Each structure stands twice: as C-alpha cells, then as structure tokens.
Structure 1
Amino acid sequence: MPTRIAALGYHQPEHRLTNEDLSGMVETSDAWIRQRTGIVTRHIAREESVADLATAAAGKALAAAGLGPAEIGQVVVATCSAIDRVPSIAAEVAGRLGIQGAVAFDLNNGCAGFTTALAVADHAVRAGAARHALVVGAEKMSDVTDYTDRSTCVLLGDGAGAAVVGPAAQPGIGPVVWGSDPTARDAVRLRGDWHPRFAQDGQKVFRWATTALAPLAREACERAGYAPGELGAIVAHQANLRIVEALARQLDAPGAVVATDVVTSGNTSAASVPLALAKLVERGEVTPGTPTLLFAFGGGLSWAGQVVRCP
C-alpha cells in the first residue's frame, strides 16, 4: 500500500534567545556565531515540557489532516531530550489528544530521529499494521545545554514538528536510506546521570557531514526514482548553515528550495526536519506534490533520509 504525508504541524516556544543575549552569558559575539553557524536566534521553552511541545505540534497536524483520534493507529515521538522515560512522550501525546488503543512509543536516534521515525511509520502503514500514524520530532534542548560552553550553547533550540502518515493512491514517501557509524559514536554525546549535558566534537562532525553525507543523500534520491536535479526542495537536518549549504551544493539541485530554518530556530535535533518542512509548506515555498529530500544526521553517528511528496 503506498503512503504519503497527509498533513504537517509545528510548534515553537514564544521566547527567543538572540546572539546578543548569549554574548552576555558567555564569551561570544553575534559575528562569531553567524560566521561559524549561521544562527541568529533560537526559541527556548521556559515552562513547556517536551510533551507540551510534542502535543501542540501533533494536534495541529491531526487537525490539518482532518482526522479524529480514533483514526490513528500508531504514535511515534522522536526525541533525545525528554526527562521522562516511562510513560513515553508518545503515550503522553496520545493521552492528551484522546487517541485510544494505538501503539505509542518514543524513538531516540538523535538528530536523525524524525526521519527514522517517519520510515518506521511508513513501513507500519504499508504493512497494514496501522491505517494512519502520527510522527513527531520534539526536543527541549535547552534542558541539556551547558550555557558555559560557547561551542555548544550557541547552537541549540527547542521546538516540535509533526506529520500524519496515511495511505495514498500513489507513493508519497520514498524508500529510506539509513545507517550508522558506531566507531564514531562519541562524536556527539548526551551522557551521564540526569541532568546530562550535550557535547560534541564539532570539527569531527563537520568534516563527516560535509564529506560522507552527499553520497547517502543521492542514494535516497535514486531509491525514490529521482535525480537530484528533479528535487523541488531539500530539507536537511538544521545543524549548521554551513553544513546545510554544503550538502545542497554537493547534490547539485539548482532548482530546489533549500530549507534554512537553522538561522531563526537553531539546532532543534529531531525536531529540525519537520519544523523546517512544515514552515516551507505553510509559507507556500513548496506546492503539494513537490518532491522533497528529507535527510538528517547526528549522534551515533547516524543518518536517515527519504524523498517525500509535500502535502
């Protein structure tokens, strides 16, 4: 059974943390941050939890799809920043939205969490295990940020994005290309007793992302039956503007809109791809049916990506 993304939704906290704000907290500057990351501002949740962010985004996606809670058979929340382990954030979202009887679970694949979860939902719907699935990427990275470390605190933000996956007449979600390189698993870390702190080997991640990812992204295009030049949009994990732009150049897709939500949202880990995609659709920068590459990467080191048609 072919599948598609039927609808999207997103949510970000109202409070914004600017580069100027950060320059008063650590030894940094607006110019230093922009030059190295491209980030200007990021959203920070003061009172909202990961479950609050996820539920808000999921509710919007469900409403946009025109579906009731009884029509959802699977809820998957991709997150690496949730404090609560049991019940899962997915179970919390399902309960708040009145979704009864659906399988609900969290998935942690770092920044590649949403595209991994999207593939899991795609497989479940295609196999007939669920009629519709609700997939959410939600992070409160401010909970795990060390605001004394200028190399990481300038990167991270909070937010959530969601998608409803359902059956389709024509394929709308392409085959996933996913994997990991566990020999480099320590390059991105979130370890220790709660309260852990995010850490990474920034140079190692940058070199890997700008050299290893393009062939994998091309493979995702090929498996979906597209040449990169046929893409209408590229939505990569919003880790760093330099990485996003490098991947787009290497793919050689001159007609594609390239999502750059990182500039105003920062790195929101598993939330970054659905946030950026939902905003492109909301602003009308892509039209329904536009072939769009989703590709995310991060801790593990892991990656997952697929070509989808925009709702």
Structure 2
Amino acid sequence: MLGSRIAALGHHQPSRVLTNADLEGMVDTTDAWIRQRTGIATRRIAGEDESVTDMAAASAAKALAASGLEPAEIGLVTVATCTAIDRCPSIAAQVAARLGIPSAVCFDLNNGCAGFCTALACADHSVRAGAARHALVIGAEKMSDVTDWTDRSTCVLLGDGAGAAVISEAKGQDAGIGPVAWGSDPARAHAVRLADSWQPRFTQEGQAVFRWATGELPTVAREACHRAGIATTDLAGVVTHQANLRIIEPLTRQLDLRDDVVIARDVIDSGNTSAASVPLALSKLVERGEVPSSAPVLLIAFGGGLSWAGQVVTCP
C-alpha cells in the first residue's frame, strides 16, 4: 500500500539572539518572570531585510540537499505560515523559484501554529493519492513582524525561524507518516488572533489557551498514536508545538511516556515560532542524533483556530 515518509529535514534561524536581559530594557519584565511563566531564555529575531521567504528557502535548501533529490523531482511545495506579507505569488512559489523546482504545484497554508502538521498531512495525502512522488513541506514565520513590543505578556514569547521536510513516496513497511488526527474548535477561535488590520498584532487569551491545550490535546495525542497502530509507550520522541514550556510539560506528562523518551524543548532557546516550531525542533533533534533513524516520534501542533493536527512519524 502506498504511503509516505520523511526523507530529510532542514532548519534555519536568524543570527540575532534576543535574550531575556535584552527584553528587560524594552518592557517591564525580568528574566526570572519570563522563565517562570514560559521557560524561555532566548529567541531569534530576523532583520528587516530577512523575509519569511528567505527563511523558508534557507531551510528548504538544506532539506533538499540532505534528501539527495534533484529539484525537478519535487512535485509539491507547500509553506505553512501566518505571517507572510506577500499574498501572490505564494511563498511556496517563491521558494520553488529560488531552488530551481520547475513545475511543482505550490501553495501556502495558514492554520496558525498547527500549520506545519496540517501541511504535512496534506502532502502525505497527495503522495498516497499518487499526485506527487516527492513533496517539500515548510513551516516559516517572522513573528517579530506581528509582535507588540510594548506588551510584556506576548513579546517575551515570540521568535522567528523556519523548518522544512522532504516527503517521499514509500510502500508497505517503509511508510513512515501515520494517519493524522486533526480538527478545530471554531467557537474558541478568538483565543488566539492575528486579525482586523493590514498590520495585525499577535494577541491571545493565555489562560484559556493553557486550559484548552493541557485539557484537550492529550486525547488528540493518544488518538494519533492509535491511528498509527502504536501505544504512547512505544514512542522514542515527542515534538509538540513549542508554545510555552508550561504547556509542553503538563501535556506530555499525561501521555504515559517512557522515562527515556526525548521531549523537544526548543522553546527555551527559540521561543514560540508558530508554524515553524515543530519542524524546527524536529530537525534539531535529528541533527543532534537525539532520536535514532526509524524511531517513532509523535508530532502535535496546536494554536489559532483553535486548531490542532498530529501524527506519528519515523525519523529519517
């Protein structure tokens, strides 16, 4: 039976590091306050001349090179983002042009922080249906463009970056992307917002998001494992959306994981990078060799909408 797998990963972050000490000079906050409430120590901030497209293309180029594929073999390019300024051409089309991908279908997908896992599922479905043999899936965000740097409750959270995955056709036991568990709760969509302006600012109802994520998402995580045919005790790693360490830790504690499971905590160094956070964190884990090749890893992303998407993948 036709399926797909992650063949390669890549990531990119801007060079500028914004520390908690830096933020102390910008708003009424302290390093202790930020760490206690978010777990974040630093985040990366793109310069004015570094766009969402720049970061997406940089991460995609690394993933494509690692895959060993030629650009012409890529049949689909999709970019998950909620911070793109350009409406048309899509960021995906611009990335394809930069990488010399000649004729792939290209589109952007906006599902907030759940965007990458949503886009990964769409690419998996396309490969399973025979519409493409290889796909490039990217999560890229320039959250600094939508940050209110006078609001200490949100500006301490956000960072910029991108992560990418090459998805390839696989058959039988080689298939490595499990069925997606996804959905939304539109009645609570107001809890995370980028709206009402051509230059919107990120706002959220922090306590409402915390209660929703820690209360509802463990069920989604278990459902993703069930659909993949494994138990949570079989997982070698868990990569959640890197929203806040105070969400990641109680969420994963509810999953009955083994003591040796690797839990991504890239939020400490990178902050909340929205749709970029899952591929960014996963790429780093694989690059550092913290999760072995072919090991099962749960990906689960959540955020604006309120939306969620999760699947079990095997590491490349």
Give the alignment's TM-score, normalised by structure 1.
0.99
Distance 2:211 2:181 in 1: 20
Whether 2:308 is the aligned partner of 1:303: answer yes
* Aligned equivalent of 1:268, options 270, 273, 281: 273
Q: Structure 1 runs of 4+ off > 4 angstroms?
A: none
Question: For residues 180-208 of structure 1, what are the alpha-carbon distances to aligned partners after superposition, in whole Å with 9 as ceiling and x for unaligned?
Answer: 00000000000122211000000100010
What's the CA shift string for 1:127-186, capped at 9, x where partnerless?
100010000000000000000000000000000000000012322000000000000000
Aligned equivalent of 1:242, options 246, 253, 256: 246
Deviations 1:252-302 (A, max 9, x none): 112310000000000000000000000000000011001000000000000
Summarize deviations over 1:79-108 as a string: whole Å, max 9, x none. Answer: 000111111000000011111111000000
* CA distance in 1 between partners of 2:104 and 2:170 (Å): 20
Q: Which runs of 5+ in 1 are unaligned?
A: none
Within the candidate set 104, 118, 121, 2:120 is matched to 118
Amino acid at match of 2:70: G
Q: Which deviations, in whole Å up to 9, do the C-alpha atoms of 1:223-259 show, x marking residues without a partner? A: 0011001100000000000111111100011231000
Output the TM-score relative to the length of structure 2.
0.98
**CA separation in 1, counterparts of 2:312 and 2:186?**
25
Greater Cα shift, 169-178 or 56-65: 169-178
Distance 2:108 2:170 in 1: 25
Distance 1:299 1:117 in 2: 15
Match of 1:199 in 2: 203
CA distance in 2, matches of 1:207, 1:217: 16
Per the alignment, residue 261 of structure 2 pairs with 256
Q: Distance in 1 between matches of 2:196 and 2:93?
A: 25
- CA–CA distance in structure 2, aligned partners of residues 28 and 196 of structure 1: 23
Tell me the residue number matched to 1:82. 84
- Looking at structure 2, the residues matched to 277 and 39 of structure 1 have their Cα atoms a distance apart, in angstroms, of 18
Partner SS state of residue 112, structure 2: coil
Cα distance between partner residues in 1 of 2:3 and 2:224: 17
1:288 equivalent in alignment to 2:296: no
Secondary structure, counterpart of 1:168 in structure 2:
strand
1:279 aligns with 2:280: no
**What is aligned with 2:234?**
230
Q: Percent identity?
A: 72
Give 1:235's aligned amino acid. V
Structure 1: how far apart are the matches of 2:286 and 2:144?
Answer: 27
Matched, 1:174 2:175: no
What's the secondary structure of 1:39's corresponding residue? coil
What is the number of equivalent residue pairs in this alignment?
A: 311
Residue matched to 1:71: 73
SS in structure 1 opposite 2:282? helix
Corresponding position of 1:162: 164
1:35 corresponds to which residue?
36
State how far apart, in whole Å, the 2-side matches of 1:201 and 1:11 are. 29
Residues 100-120 of structure 1 show CA distances to partners (whole Å, capped at 9, x for unaligned) of 111000000000000000000
* Cα separation, 1, equivalents of 2:140 and 2:124: 19
Q: Which residue of 2 aligns with 1:133?
A: 135
Is 1:106–2:90 an aligned residue pair? no
Name which of 143, 147, 152 aligns with 2:149.
Answer: 147
**Partners in 1 of 2:86 and 2:261 — Cα distance?**
39
CA distance in 2: counterparts of 1:242 and 1:289, whole angstroms: 29
| Structure 2: tracts of 5 or more residues without a match | none
